[in-house]
Structure 1
Amino acid sequence: MTGQRTPLGTAVAEGKGREKLPLRALLALTTAVFLTALTETLPAGVLPAMSGDLGVGESAMGQAVTVYALGTALTAIPLSAATAGWPRKRLLLAAMAGFAVANTVTAVSASYALTMVARGAAGVAAGLAWALLAGYARRMVPVPLQGRAIAVVMTGVPVALSLGVPAGTYLGETFGWRAAFGLMTAVAAGLLVWIAALVPDRPGPGRGGSAPVRATLALPGVRPVLFVTLVYVLAHNVLYTYIAAFLDRHGMGGSTDVALLVFGVTSMLSIWVVGARIDRRLRLLAVGGTVLFAVAVTLLAVGAGSAPLVFVAVGLWGLGWGGAPSLLQTAAADAGGDSADTAQAVLVTLWNVAMAGGGVVGGVLLGAAGTGALAWSVLVLLAPALVAVVAARTHGFPSIRPGVTLPDED
């Protein structure tokens, strides 16, 4: 795998064309992202079984996702500051060990309260992991390869959503939901060995990387990137959280799995494209992704009665969304400069606030105006996001990343 020339696997550094991404190490971080995203979303796939086994209603059991997101949102910034001087490898091992313990407790717990504590602890581990993963990937490679390195690592998100959740749901239905969480413990244990053996250590950013949030927000470009993150992720989750209800309202309830598969496949394609061009086309990719998302929700708003049009719209949505984590984390780190880790921690916090907020806002819209309001509300949210991306042409979303000098073509 490391010997193949692919957009994600081949590096061009300062025109030399000889440096390559350390794929064995980066794929360990990709697996960490996969584990983080899957741990967060798996309860949605096994919710009825969990609620029945623990003796609570499905709405109460659904708070397992909310508690996780809150644990991440509340701890990302303080943990990033408190551990700024820690070696990155030790910190990543601690986060993955936290997942192993939390998922083990979840798998064996017979108490709803204990399960919620374990889910909160998993969220804390996620806050620690998300705040360091992008910066860790950047520190493994020279500047011209940093965008590609982050794109490799962020592949774990769409893989978790498009493959991990369906597979975990199937495992839960076949062998019980506890087996699904037990398998994630096994993945975490194997990942600890992988990281210990093959991932190089890197020093923490120290005092510079743990700059006060206020000082970081004052840096040119940081606030536009964070604003786009909040609005873009909120828009996505308003629709994604209730996509099953949206499709059911338009007579396509039986096609939800197919729609999500289309979304997953196009999201993976988006990651590939972004990984190939992020270092010299960051601005174009950010604008293009936002426009694709806007076109997709417009099609959903006006043509939801046509199944082919819906699948086209979902495909465009995936193309607009899949590369977003890589683009936003790269842009935040570049704008943050010496305070990149603080910028990343704030981004993680806003990301999780937007995820939780998407469910709340979407639920309010669903109850007040029905599914027809979902797509139009997303379009309203995307408008200021597009304006912010276009306006931040010098700092935030520049055409070429700072410090990168690459030829026009590979």
Structure 2
Amino acid sequence: MRPAASAARHPLLGLAVLFAAAFTTITTETLPSGLLPLMSRALQVPESLVGLLVGAYALLILAVTVPLVALTSRWSRRRLLIVLMGAFAAGNLLTALAPNYSVAMAARLVAGLGHGVLWSMMAAYAASLVAPHRTGRAIAGVFAANSAALTLGVPLGTALGQVAGWRVPFAILAGLAALVAAVARVALPDMPGTAKARPSSIRAVRLPDVRTVMVTTGLVMLGHFTLATYIAPFLLGAGIAQTGLSTALLAFGLAGVLGVIAAGAAVDRAPRGALLTALGAMTLAVAALVLLRGNAAVAAAAVWGAAYAALPPLLQALILKAAPGAQAAASALFIITFNISITAGSLLGGQLLAWHGPTALPFAAAILTAAAVLPAARRITLTATRASLG
């Protein structure tokens, strides 16, 4: 078996493959949020049920990740990644061909089976491709795919769906997943599995900073996905024309690129301060959406997109830093927390949309996002105080 260390010859290529895999999976998970009106009409179900195509996907991740990680623990990492990308290709293709809602839901579950398994191995695989002193930046670079998918993949998929129909973006994702699997076979070095797949989750969750990142992640992502899952009907209700929806989402995505760049610059130097800045900016922008309409709402959404895009790499870097002896477990806890919030956010947003209309969404999201600032600010203040006393 070829050791992972041999990837030092072409580390950027290997990281690019991991980034593409991560980008594909997150875009797959959240794309229905941008295509809600189109899918609702085509599948003849309410928009709240289409939102559950995101929520059920995330719920499946919570249910199967731990047993599947154990089941595949001895597989080589390259083989496992190829198999998982094959599942994403199949699931997206089935979604594109789905004749009704039930088949679409089943197809989504096929795609979601390996999502948590893939992400649980990403940090270690990325770290194996570079020298030890570049590990943090390599991991942050791969995990930036999370932000890139939500701020570029979904808006671009939405724009394409507006022009060519909602099935086309899922077909393209199927092709992209198959391409990643093919390239991974030749571009990624192999990395052996491990005899023990059970991470020290109890040890990790006992660490105060790990708990802080988990609570902060849970609250801010719950707020984000309460609104983001139903962003299309919200923007339509805020005075954005159907023809302008893809442009508004693209503005959200382009602003997110700036957020990812800013996070990359700050992740090694001042991740805690950058986290508070992003949380504060996101809270203000989402709160402004309660009142704004038209182009002003699009501008506020762009600020929201920039602030949100910075959060996943910052939170991931902080939780890994908080658990130097249990990084795999900390990463798994981050993924589980993230997906609990996706599920809960899609359910909460769906209920708010059904009972109170789209204007209730940013109100609830702003409250939850503001609540996320409190544990982060408190823990950062305590850390700074201890450092000054030390």
Q: TM-score range by the shorter chain?
A: 0.7 to 0.9
Root-mean-square deviation (CA, aligned residues, Å) is 3.4
What is the match of residue 125 of structure 1? 114
Classify 1:211/1:389 alpha carbon distance in 2 versus 1 (closer, same or farther; 3 Å): same
Offset of residue 364 of structure 1: 3.2
> Following the alignment from structure 2 to structure 1, what is the Cα–Cα distance between the partners of residues 218 and 383?
14
> Following the alignment from structure 1 to structure 2, what is the Cα–Cα distance between the partners of residues 280 and 336?
18
Compare the two structures and name the one with the higher helix fraction: 2
Classify 1:155/1:389 alpha carbon distance in 2 versus 1 (closer, same or farther; 3 Å): same
Aligned to 1:338, the other structure's residue is in SS state coil
Aligned to 2:325, the other structure's residue is in SS state helix
What is the match of residue 257 of structure 1? 246
Classify 1:166/1:218 alpha carbon distance in 2 versus 1 (closer, same or farther; 3 Å): closer
Classify 1:137/1:110 alpha carbon distance in 2 versus 1 (closer, same or farther; 3 Å): same
Range 229-238 or range 44-53, more displaced: 44-53
Deviations 1:306-341 (A, max 9, x none): 733x34422321221112111122222222333222
Contact 1:131 1:345 in 2 (8 A): yes
Contact 1:51 1:61 in 2 (8 A): yes
What is the match of residue 202 of structure 2? 214
Contact 1:77 1:342 in 2 (8 A): no
> Following the alignment from structure 1 to structure 2, what is the Cα–Cα distance between the partners of residues 250 and 56?
23
Matches within 5 A, 1:337-348: 337-348=324-335
Deviations 1:330-385 (A, max 9, x none): 22222233322222222212212211211222233345555444333333222332
**Structure 1 length as normaliser, TM-score?**
0.79
Offset of residue 294 of structure 1: 1.6
What is the match of residue 362 of structure 2? 375
> Following the alignment from structure 2 to structure 1, what is the Cα–Cα distance between the partners of residues 78 and 156?
29
Offset of residue 293 of structure 1: 0.8
Aligned to 1:106, the other structure's residue is in SS state helix
The letter for the 2-side match of 1:258 is T
> Following the alignment from structure 1 to structure 2, what is the Cα–Cα distance between the partners of residues 397 and 328?
18
What is the match of residue 239 of structure 1? 227
> Following the alignment from structure 1 to structure 2, what is the Cα–Cα distance between the partners of residues 60 and 251?
23
The letter for the 1-side match of 2:76 is P
Contact 1:98 1:125 in 2 (8 A): yes
Contact 2:82 2:182 in 1 (8 A): no
> Following the alignment from structure 1 to structure 2, what is the Cα–Cα distance between the partners of residues 28 and 311?
33
Contact 2:147 2:310 in 1 (8 A): no
- Which ranges in structure 2 are unaligned for 5 or more consecutive residues? 1-7
Contact 1:222 1:336 in 2 (8 A): yes
What is the match of residue 226 of structure 1? 214
Offset of residue 286 of structure 1: 0.9
Residue 332 (1) aligns with residue 331 (2) = no
Offset of residue 20 of structure 1: 11
What is the match of residue 5 of structure 2? none
Deviations 1:277-300 (A, max 9, x none): 201211111111111112212333
Range 320-329 or range 257-266, more displaced: 257-266
Classify 1:288/1:334 alpha carbon distance in 2 versus 1 (closer, same or farther; 3 Å): same
Contact 2:271 2:314 in 1 (8 A): yes
The letter for the 2-side match of 1:267 is G
Classify 1:360/1:199 alpha carbon distance in 2 versus 1 (closer, same or farther; 3 Å): same
Aligned to 1:202, the other structure's residue is in SS state coil
> Following the alignment from structure 2 to structure 1, what is the Cα–Cα distance between the partners of residues 223 and 336?
16
Aligned to 2:269, the other structure's residue is in SS state helix
Range 219-228 or range 282-291, more displaced: 219-228
Contact 1:84 1:206 in 2 (8 A): yes
> Following the alignment from structure 1 to structure 2, what is the Cα–Cα distance between the partners of residues 140 and 262?
34
Residue 354 (1) aligns with residue 341 (2) = yes
Percent identity among equivalent residues? Answer: 35
> Following the alignment from structure 2 to structure 1, what is the Cα–Cα distance between the partners of residues 54 and 144?
21
Size of the aligned set, in residue pairs, is 379
Offset of residue 159 of structure 1: 3.6
Deviations 1:8-49 (A, max 9, x none): xxxxxxxxxxx9992211111111112102222334455666
